[in-house]
Chains A and B, each alone.
Chain A
């Protein structure tokens, strides 16, 4: 427990969270928790229920059933405290074109009831961090798409909230700006802050996520750490060894825990339950057998494969779900 009574293990808690719009179930019994210092990435196709989940977490939409807490505050019973505790980057930036960045951020600082001096300092810090200081007094209508995205992110971080909910934070950004934003998000992973991020960018998800939840038809179909969910889908990690000489029927007795998956004239691929102990033994056997090892590496298993398979599986199970 923290001094403020918030359980850092459950900075964000969703428990059987459900949202119905008339007969349509947008979110169906979604449960997850995010600890302080963690980033949860929510993946899913358009219309899967990601934005609705975020809106329930920010108290804008009331859950039809289930409950959620943000920094220890109930989203239904304490909406004002919830909203004061989250920083949200919405899908649409929604900036006011006739205001300057300074005016805009000052406006939100007032709504968050921040001290004038401190807020001015923080505004300048954040704008500097995102490379927007030169455009401080420029009208937002003249900002490029990327600048707007960055400014919206600054707005979300302005009141230094313990919980950040970011919907597609790098969607409109050029590669360099996207990198800055990604690094910033990583730097936000402090011991007293939890982050939920929705994205379609699977590389980014893999880079940032401590935990991934794939959502489809309003349901979480997969949830866990990236390596865990890969293991769940593909089994233990696979390795591939490329040799300097042909195998020529070399059939050593494989160490315990190693299963041969495929082999060619001068390469072999195997699955290993316990690489720390089994891989060194296999390597020694190959070398003692006179087979020089050119490369020895794990076979890349992308999140994209997991995602595609999970989505296809969900579609197969519920072909008429929507």
Chain B
């Protein structure tokens, strides 16, 4: 193993040495590791003095770890520039081909570049944090507690690896440094939002939540590294020359994936769609398990968030159901469309979230819905109403169609992430991405949307009437 990893270290060592000889990298890093932490120390001291006058020392208490996080983050931002350069910069300078001609394995080259982009900024980040902590000591300000310090260091590492791994993916797939810099917005904007979210959590003081953030980021980081390795191809690196958005090519890839070999809708329904649905088997199992977990977590929440407004009152349920049946007469279209659109909207949101997170966040909207389901089930159980009545009266009739549809749609999003993280030697990352999108559309248009329409009709016309029978 060590012998195999050695070439990666050789690559990393060369690159780090090269960086250390570049004043355009050294000066900003030195500034951010020596000057900036002192500035933050002064800010922390001034803030403490100011807020103490008004007895709001808690703000200073929260600000000190927050500033530590910021001090750690700033040098990492330099890593983005280095990481974006790794492959595409060498390609532009013509130095990548001699490297590709050596017996290096793809993963060794990729890992070497990744290490080279991570290690120096991370070390400077630690140095900056150390300077900041030293400054706090000298100013007799309270240091954050050890677990919190550990947490901030962990966040810094994970954030650095996440940013760099994302940027290296961009660099290995971009056609020019210019294109890579433009694509960097897809990293900078989410990271900026993440920092803001982390800031809120830190001022809120809910440090337990920060661990969840770390965990989520860690998963994303692993996926980014996996995607980068899976789609790193020597051929692609040298083959792509032009930065042109080729809609015609994109459309033809989409069309080919969507239609398969079908020449008419019958063949598409009988052969192409079942083939795609078959591919959703494993992701569907994963999705079903995740929804089960969501239900379970939802049931647990009754203890932490006890219901305040609901009391066992069969008469109230009965009258509410009467009102509902009155509002939704049999065969009225409006409620069906409203329910259907609501469900489709949730699944569209899943797609959007899934696209930017390798499917990870794509399961969240459905999981949240199922967690509420679990919560309500548990709540009914606590109020003496039989759970079976609640399930049979409110969930099962339309759920028999709706739940499989949700699982199928979720599976298409999970599969998208899984395939992106799988090596596809003869296809580019763009081709894979478009083909996955085509599969999602296939599943949605061919199965999920019609199923949701049927489920919405049952939910509007049949479910309330069954519930009324049970709760009368």
Give chain A's interface residues, CB within 8 Å of chain B: 21-22, 55, 58, 60-62, 80-81, 83-84, 86, 88, 90-96, 98-99, 103, 107-108, 110-113, 152, 155
Q: Are A95 and B234 in contact (CB under 8 A)?
A: no
Contact call A95/B14, Cβ cutoff below 8 A: no
Rounded to whole Å, the gap between the CB of B13 and the closest CB of chain A is: 9
- Chain A hits for B95, CB < 8 A: 92, 94-96
| Complex: A108 Cα to B93 Cα, angstroms | 17
Judge whether B94 and A60 touch: CB under 8 Å.
Answer: no
A110 surroundings in chain B (CB, below 8 A): 7, 10
> B102: which of A83, A92, A93, A96 is its contact (CB, 8 Å)?
A83
Establish whether residues B96 and A94, one from each chain, have CB atoms under 8 Å apart when the complex forms.
Answer: yes
Instruction: Report yes or no: B97 in contact with A84, Cβ–Cβ below 8 A.
Output: no
B104 at interface (Cβ–Cβ under 8 A)?
A: yes
Residues on B with C-beta less than 8 A from A152 are: 98
Report 8 cross-chain contacts, Cβ distance below 8 Å, ordered by A residue: A22-B249, A55-B238, A61-B234, A83-B102, A90-B94, A90-B101, A96-B18, A111-B103
- Please give me the residue from chain A that is nearest to B425 by CB atom: A62
- Contact in complex: B102, A60 (CB < 8 Å): no
Q: Are B97 and A60 in contact (CB under 8 A)?
A: yes
Tell me the smallest distance from the CB of B214 to a CB of chain A, in Å. 36
Chain B residue nearest in CB terms to A58: B101
Interchain nearest-CB distance for B95 vs A (Å): 3
Contact B94 A83 (CB under 8 A): no
A-B contact sample (14 more), CB < 8 A, given A81-B103, A92-B94: A58-B101, A60-B238, A83-B102, A83-B103, A93-B94, A93-B98, A95-B95, A98-B22, A99-B17, A107-B10, A110-B10, A111-B102, A111-B103, A113-B103
Q: Which 5 A-B pairs have the closest CB atoms?
A: A92-B94, A94-B95, A94-B94, A84-B103, A111-B102
Q: Does the CB pair B10–A60 fall under 8 Å?
A: no
B55 at the interface (CB under 8 A from A): no
A96 contact set on B, CB distance < 8 A: 14, 18, 95
Q: Contact: A61 with B238, CB < 8 Å?
A: yes
| Residues on B with beta carbons closer than 8 Å to the beta carbon of A84 | 103
In the complex, which of the residues A62, A90, A93, A99 contacts B235, with contact meaning CB atoms closer than 8 Å?
A62
**Least Cβ–Cβ distance between B297 and chain A, in angstroms:** 47
- Min CB gap A112→B, angstroms: 6
Docked pose: A92 CA to B99 CA in angstroms = 12
Residues of B close to A92: CB separation below 8 A: 94-95, 97
B100 interface residue per 8 A CB criterion: yes
**Quick check: A88 and B101 within 8 Å, CB to CB?**
yes
| Chain B, interface residues (CB within 8 Å), range | 20 to 34
| Residues 68-106 of chain B, each 1 if its beta carbon lies under 8 Å from chain A, else 0 | 000000000000000000000010011111111111110
Nearest-CB residue, chain A, relative to B91: A94
Which residues B95-134 have CB closer than 8 A to chain A? 95-105
Residue of B nearest to A95 (CB): B95
Known: A61-B238, A110-B10. A94 touches B98 (CB 8 A): yes
**How near does chain B come to A158, taking the closest CB pair, in angstroms?**
10
- Which residues from B are CB-within-8-Å of A98? 18, 21-22
Q: Tell me whether A80 and B103 are in contact (CB under 8 A).
A: yes
A55 CB to nearest B CB, Å: 7
Binding site for A on B (CB under 8 A): 7, 10-11, 14, 17-18, 21-22, 90, 93-105, 234-235, 238-239, 249, 425
CA A108 to CA B102, docked complex, whole Å: 8
Rounded to whole Å, the gap between the CB of B68 and the closest CB of chain A is 34
Chain B residues, CB < 8 A from A93: 94, 98
Q: Which of A22, A86, A90, A95 has the most CB of B within 10 A?
A: A90
- Measured between C-beta atoms, what is the minimum distance from A221 to chain B in Å? 25
- Assess whether B97 is in contact with A21, with CB atoms less than 8 Å apart: no
Closest to B95 in A: A94
Whole-angstrom distance between the alpha carbons of A181 and B98 in the complex?
Answer: 19
Closest residue to B9 on the A side, CB-wise? Answer: A110
CB neighbours of A103 from chain B (8 A): 17
Measured in the bound complex, the distance between the Cα atoms of B238 and A155 in whole Å is: 20
* Chain A residues, CB < 8 A from B90: 94
Q: Measured between alpha carbons, how far is A91 from B94 in the docked complex, in Å?
A: 9
Take A60-B97, A83-B102 as given contacts and tell me if A111 and B21 are in contact as well, using a CB distance cutoff of 8 Å: no
Q: Is the CB of B21 within 8 A of A112?
A: no
Bound-complex Cα distance A93 to B93 (A):
9
Across the interface, which residues of A come within 8 angstroms of B104, CB to CB?
83, 111
* Contact A99/B18 with A90-B101, A111-B10 known, Cβ cut-off 8 Å: yes
User: Are A60 and B235 in touch, CB under 8 angstroms?
Assistant: yes
Known: A93-B94, A94-B93. A61 touches B103 (CB 8 A): no
Residues of chain A lying within 8 A (CB to CB) of residue B7: 110-111, 113
Measured between alpha carbons, how far is A108 from B105 in the docked complex, in Å?
14
Closest-CB distance, A207 to chain B (whole angstroms): 26
Bound-state CA distance A108–B11 (Å) is 10
A94 to B94 alpha-carbon distance, docked (Å): 4
Which of B22, B93, B101, B103 is close to A60, meaning CB atoms less than 8 Å apart? B101
Q: Which residue of B lies closest to A22 (CB)?
A: B249
Q: How far is the CA of A110 from the CA of B8 in the complex (A)?
A: 11
Q: How far is the CA of A90 from the CA of B14 in the complex (A)?
A: 21
**A281 → chain B, closest Cβ, in Å?**
56
Pair A94/B97 contact, Cβ less than 8 Å: yes
- Expressed in whole angstroms, the Cα–Cα distance for A113 and B103 within the complex equals 9
A249 CA / B76 CA spacing, docked (Å)? 93
Please name all residues of chain A whose beta carbon is closer than 8 Å to the beta carbon of B239 when the two chains form the complex: 21, 61
Contact A61:B235 (CB < 8 A) given known A88-B101, A98-B22, A111-B7: yes
Q: With A and B bound together, what is the CA distance between A189 and B11 in angstroms?
A: 32
With both chains docked as a complex, state the minimum distance between the C-beta of B143 and any C-beta of chain A, in angstroms: 40
Q: How far is the CA of A150 from the CA of B96 in the complex (A)?
A: 18
A61 to B239, CA, bound (A): 8
